């Protein structure tokens, strides 16, 4: 996520920290490099100019130049400026106190509206709001089928109708939602390869018919500067209430998408961080900026862990740690739970101080898959008691998972070392005088 910008800013501030005192020319040089870093990340030129101008006065003030830690003062000013540029704070969804809340998703074809509709449906389902997906894209081949498949994956109903006109479909869906009691209605509207008047007129008609609480523009973060132009035009015609940024996990520079808030004044509501239906995060400007600047994002990490960890199972696991009865099956279960939180590399970057280390030594998710394959090739008895893994068993496991015996041996050695560490930790926690 914006790794290029993160690396550039990290290098700039690292050089800054090596200087004991800063002069006005030092600060100007830093701001010039920050400006270049933002432009290279594809942030809108006007947005960059306004941003640099807004922080320059604070950065060359006496509280920075005369500070005992001037580098930290400059980093904080840049941090606060980026947070402000991205909206300041999280913008909550507008939910109706009673009845159905209508959320209308709009955007160009290929931006990911259908997938984001399913992600949002799962997000609202987890909140207990009983969402309804509505297939209003009657033009793209297989668009309705795609939405039905996604709806089945997350166990959310999908409303379809024989009417050829999306306005009639949206109207009937809202009536059905009110009858059944769906708390949120998500309209997956049609997109075009480019903005055209026919598309906008149809979207305006849908909006005027169902009166959505939220009109969210889905923007592909890899689009570049054109994303800003698209957002401006959609906002002019539809008065969008916010945006959803997709493909923020890709290798795109992504800065253009972050410019949308500054250009349109409309907040980013969500960011898509992967292809899975669970890969959606509410947009917190301060958290994203902390990640970009290598400061971690502990709050998001906690929220992710709370979403996937069962409290009862966590207590059982803690008991196994204390009693040294932790098995390879337990390890496999924990590995699969962690995978639900996303890429291990992204998770590590949320921990303060690990961002730079992970960039230098990437954590490959393929390593996790290899470990999972090895354990899955074992029998239930072998997972419970690795001591029985003799040479012939290890050869069979290696053949079963398509890896080498050395890979199997390495996993067993690492597991034994971790159990020994747990044992030592348990002794350290044991009160003096208690028997082993």
pLDDT digits (tens, 9 = 90+) for 1-26: 466 677 777 777 777 766 666 677 77
Query: Which CATH number goes with the domain that contains 34?
Result: 1.20.120.140
Confidence of residue 240 (pLDDT cuts 50, 70, 90): very high
Taking only the tens place, the pLDDT of each residue in 252-275 is: 556 776 788 888 888 889 988 778
Taking only the tens place, the pLDDT of each residue in 166-185 is: 999 999 999 999 999 999 99
Highest mean pLDDT among 141-145, 154-158, 330-334, 363-367: 154-158
How far apart CA 85 and CA 98 sit, in angstroms, is 34
Query: Which CATH number goes with the domain that contains 337?
Result: 1.10.260.30
Query: What's the pLDDT score for residue 32?
Result: 85
- Which of 189, 253, 195, 192 has the alpha carbon at shortest distance from 216? 189
Encode 165-231 in three state secondary structure: CHHHHHHHHHHHHHHHCCCEEEEECCCCCCCCHHHHHHHHHHHHHHCCCEEEEEEEHHHCCHHHHHH
Mean pLDDT of the 92-119 span: 90
Q: Which domain holds residue 29?
A: 3-85
160 and 267 within one domain: yes
Query: What's the pLDDT score for residue 79?
Result: 83
- How many Cα atoms are found within 13 Å in the side-chain-facing hemisphere of 172? 15
Query: Which CATH number goes with the domain that contains 149?
Result: 3.40.50.300
The H or E element spanning position 289 is helix 285-292
Beta pairing class for 280-282 and 268-272:
antiparallel
Query: What's the pLDDT score for residue 345?
Result: 62
Is 81's pLDDT higher than 80?
yes
Q: Does the reported pTM lie above 0.75?
A: no
21 and 140 within one domain: no
Highest mean pLDDT among 113-122, 290-299, 347-356: 113-122
CA 71 to chain centre: 29
Helix (H, G, I), strand (E, B) or coil at 365: helix
Is 102's pLDDT higher than 80?
yes
327 and 416 within one domain: yes
Residue 103 dihedral angles phi and psi, to the nearest 5°: -120, 120
Looking at the domain assignment, is residue 219 inside a domain? yes
Those residues whose C-beta lies under 8 Å from the C-beta of residue 260, and which sit 6 or more positions away, are 219, 227, 228, 231, 243, 266, 268
Instruction: Tell which of 295, 325, 345 closes a domain.
Output: 295
What's the chain's average pLDDT? 80
273 and 135 within one domain: yes
Query: What's the pLDDT score for residue 435?
Result: 46
- DSSP assignment of 317-348 equals HHHHHHHT---HHHHHHHHHHHHTT--HHHHH
Domain count, the chain: 3
């Amino acid at each position: 996520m914006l790794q290029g910008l993160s690396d550039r800013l990290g290098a700039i501030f690292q050089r800054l920290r090596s200087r004991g005192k800063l002069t006005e020319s030092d600060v100007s040089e830093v701001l010039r490099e920050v400006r270049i870093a933002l432009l290279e990340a594809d942030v809108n030129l006007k947005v960059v100019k306004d941003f640099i101008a807004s922080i320059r006065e604070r950065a060359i003030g006496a509280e920075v130049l005369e500070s005992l830690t001037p580098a930290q003062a400059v980093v904080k000013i840049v941090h606060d400026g980026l947070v402000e540029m991205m909206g300041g704070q999280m913008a909550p969804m507008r939910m109706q106190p009673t009845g159905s809340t209508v959320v209308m998703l709009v955007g160009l074809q290929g931006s990911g509206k259908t997938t984001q509709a399913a992600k949002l449906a799962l997000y609202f389902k987890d909140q207990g709001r009983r969402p309804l997906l509505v297939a209003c894209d009657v033009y793209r081949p297989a668009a309705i089928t795609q939405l039905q498949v996604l709806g089945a994956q997350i166990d959310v109903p999908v409303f379809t109708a024989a009417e050829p006109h999306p306005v009639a479909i949206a109207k009937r869906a809202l009536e059905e939602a009110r009858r059944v009691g769906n708390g949120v209605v998500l309209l997956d509207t049609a997109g075009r390869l480019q903005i055209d008047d026919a598309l906008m007129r149809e979207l305006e008609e849908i909006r005027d018919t169902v009166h959505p609480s939220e009109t969210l523009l889905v923007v592909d973060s890899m689009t570049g500067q054109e994303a800003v132009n698209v957002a401006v035009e959609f906002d002019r015609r539809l008065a969008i209430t916010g945006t959803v940024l997709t493909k923020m996990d890709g290798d795109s520079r992504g800065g253009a998408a972050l410019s949308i808030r500054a250009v349109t004044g409309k907040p980013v509501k969500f960011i898509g961080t992967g292809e899975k239906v669970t890969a959606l995060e509410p947009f917190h400007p301060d958290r994203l900026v902390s990640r970009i600047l290598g400061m971690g994002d502990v709050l998001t990490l906690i929220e992710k862990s709370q979403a996937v960890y069962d409290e009862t199972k966590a207590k059982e696991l803690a008991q196994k740690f204390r009693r040294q009865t932790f098995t390879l099956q337990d390890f496999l279960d924990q590995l699969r739970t962690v995978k639900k939180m996303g890429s291990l590399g992204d998770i590590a970057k949320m921990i303060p101080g690990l961002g730079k280390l992970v960039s230098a030594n990437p954590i490959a998710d393929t390593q996790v898959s290899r470990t999972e394959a090895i354990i899955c090739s074992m029998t239930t008895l072998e997972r419970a008691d690795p001591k029985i893994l003799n040479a012939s068993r290890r050869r069979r496991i290696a053949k079963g998972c398509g890896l080498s015996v050395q890979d199997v041996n390495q996993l067993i050695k690492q597991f034994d070392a971790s159990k020994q560490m747990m044992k030592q930790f348990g002794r350290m926690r044991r009160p003096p005088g208690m028997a082993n």
